[in-house]
A and B are shown apart, each in its own frame.
Chain A
Amino acid sequence: MTNTLHRQGKVRNLKEDYIVFMTTAKGINRDGSGPKIQEFMRICLKYNPVNLGDVKQGNIHQDDIEIQKLIANLSDGAGSAAVFTDLDTVQKVVEELIQADLGISINISGLLDEVQECCRKAGITRHSAEHSLGFWGARDLLPEREILEINTLCGHGMVSFNFIRKMIEYVKLRRLTPKKAARIMAKCCECGAFNPVRAEKLLEKAQKGEFTASGKEVEE
């Protein structure tokens, strides 16, 4: 899930993007973790995440996924994640996870100060945290900001730059609605870390002509 470390966007966009996920450690708490992971997912599901998934089985936006079946099939060491769009809901999820005392490592990707405040309110001190130091190397190979913003919603890089451009064009030509296009992109991201709500908003901007597929932002 380094996967979720380098999500791009302005602070106002990142305020709508929190990924709650769990990890088990080999030789420590992975064996027998299946039921705990299932409970983790049940708790997340109660709070209506905009995405939820497990890398082995896929996410809730894929065509053949039944949520209850997905949860029932989670086995030891599965990597599961849920995406929420507001901190108040994340706060409730965290409080319930503390109550549940599952004993597996729980992580949140999102605005670090806000997540820290969420921990404080829940009466815990965060254990460890990681920052992104941005993109280095041959940055001239990277596409425009909006494309990157959507691409990094799946840190495994499963939503290609060209596919995002194609979706922008389809939305502009009204062959797809922003919602449908965002859902199709979410299907690419197996583990369910993709935030379709953020993607939809970006596509709506594109539809309104606020930026083009080539990334040129239109002056207001």
Chain B
Amino acid sequence: MEIDKDKCVGCGNCHAVCTMDVISLDEDGKSVVNQDECVECSVCYRLLRNEGYWPWMVRAIRQMLSFFRLGYLAEVDVCPTGALNPPVLEWPRSLRATFSDPTTIHPGTGIYGRGTEEIKSNDVTGRLRKGEAGLVVEMGRPGIGAFFRDIEKVAMALARLDPEFETQNPVTHLMEDTRTGKMKDEILNEKVLSAIIEIKVKLERIPEFLKVLEKVQKEVDTVISLGAASRCLPDGSLPHMEWVRKAGYTLSPNGKTNLGLGRPLFKEMEE
């Protein structure tokens, strides 16, 4: 995000809204974005309505108010002068918006947000089948953000156990080599609000992968939200639960359920 200094009146509304806390007041009393840390989510631009006031007028009112020792308090969801400007982004910076701005479509998967389907369409895709579990490793969430150099660390650690990286996943598309989990060099210093490493493993290997994550989590400067999924057994029970518990981890009481109403329903070949 860029801020037009000719328009900015330094009201500070964009500072709190910023998901990465990287907008601050510059020495000149106008807001400035730390471009290294901005993830181009554009929530400031979308939320803060442009009131369209003339900057000179807002500044004059503020000066007048300060003369009487009064403050100027804009409504919380406005940018009084429309100073926020989403820039046209070029590769590799454009990745920041693709992963962080939920209104942007991932070109590889045609999906908004983080660009993944996971179990959401498992009833028709059959991406997770009997005996398999999906592990969804979301880097940077909640609210911290992640550089691809950290995402690479985790991907490489997981790759050593030879998982199946989901092919319809934007992070997989950015790997130089899915056998090693190595990401493309030019993207390592790009930061995103979050990105999901998605792998498929045999159910009985869940503990092994959790052990690796347990170790590598200490090597990254961000948080990780972890999810585990599987296809239900005929009685509706979830086979991944047993393996997660065996590994000593707690499962959340809430989660996501695919009702199985998609058509054509994926039919698994009986072995």
Interface residues of A (CB under 8 A from B): 1-7, 11, 14, 17, 21, 23-26, 28-30, 55-56, 63, 77, 79, 94, 97-98, 101-113, 115-116, 119-120, 124-139, 141-143, 148, 151-152, 155-158, 160-163, 165-167, 170, 176, 184, 187-188, 190-191
On whether the beta carbons of B259 and A126 are closer than 8 Å, the reply is yes
CA distance in complex: A120, B128 (Å): 22
CA distance A29 to B43 in the complex (A): 31
Contact between chains at B255 and A132 (CB < 8 Å): yes
Q: Which residue of B lies closest to A97 (CB)?
A: B261
Q: List 14 A-B contacts (CB under 8 A).
A: A2-B136, A6-B227, A103-B261, A105-B258, A128-B229, A129-B119, A130-B118, A134-B252, A135-B226, A137-B139, A138-B222, A139-B223, A160-B20, A166-B16
A163 and B16 contact, CB distance less than 8 A = yes
Instruction: Tell me, rounded to whole Å, the shortest Cβ–Cβ distance linking A82 to chain B.
Output: 14
Q: Does B66 contact A (CB under 8 A)?
A: no
Q: Are B256 and A108 in contact (CB under 8 A)?
A: yes
List residues of chain A with CB within 8 A of the CB of B174. Answer: none
- Give B236's nearest chain A residue, CB to CB: A125
Q: A116-B257, A127-B123 are in contact. Are A158 and B19 (CB under 8 A)?
A: yes
B184 smallest CB distance to A (angstroms): 23
Distance between Cα atoms of A190 and B227 in the complex (Å):
23
B positions within 8 Å CB-CB of A: 15-21, 41, 43, 46-47, 49, 76-77, 102-103, 109-114, 116-125, 128, 134, 136, 138-139, 141-144, 168, 193-194, 196, 210, 213-214, 217, 220-232, 234-236, 238, 240-241, 244, 249-264
Return the chain B residue nearest A140 by Cβ.
B223
Q: Which residue of A lies closest to B249 (CB)?
A: A133
Q: Kindly list chain A residues whose C-beta atoms are within 8 Å of the C-beta of B229.
A: 128-131
Closest Cβ of chain B: how far from A56's Cβ, in Å?
A: 6
Q: Which 7 A-B pairs have the closest CB atoms?
A: A127-B260, A130-B229, A103-B263, A105-B262, A23-B120, A132-B252, A25-B121
When A23-B121, A119-B257, A157-B143 are in contact, do A133 and B76 touch as well, CB less than 8 Å? no
- The distance from the CB of A206 to the nearest CB of chain B, in whole angstroms, is 16
Across-interface contacts of B124 in A (CB, < 8 A)? 25, 28-29, 105
B-side contacts of A1, CB under 8 Å? 113, 120, 256
A146 to chain B, nearest CB (A): 13
Contact across chains for B258 and A129 when beta carbons are under 8 A apart: yes
Contact A137 B118 (CB under 8 A): no
Residues of B close to A3: CB separation below 8 A = 113-114
User: Nearest chain A CB to B65's CB is how many angstroms away?
Assistant: 17
Asked if A125 and B234 sit within 8 Å, CB to CB, the answer is yes
A132-B232 contact in complex given A102-B261, A124-B260, C-beta closer than 8 Å = no
**A176 vs B75: C-alpha distance when bound (angstroms):** 10
Interface residue from A55, A102, A157, A162 paired with B21 (Cβ < 8 Å): A162
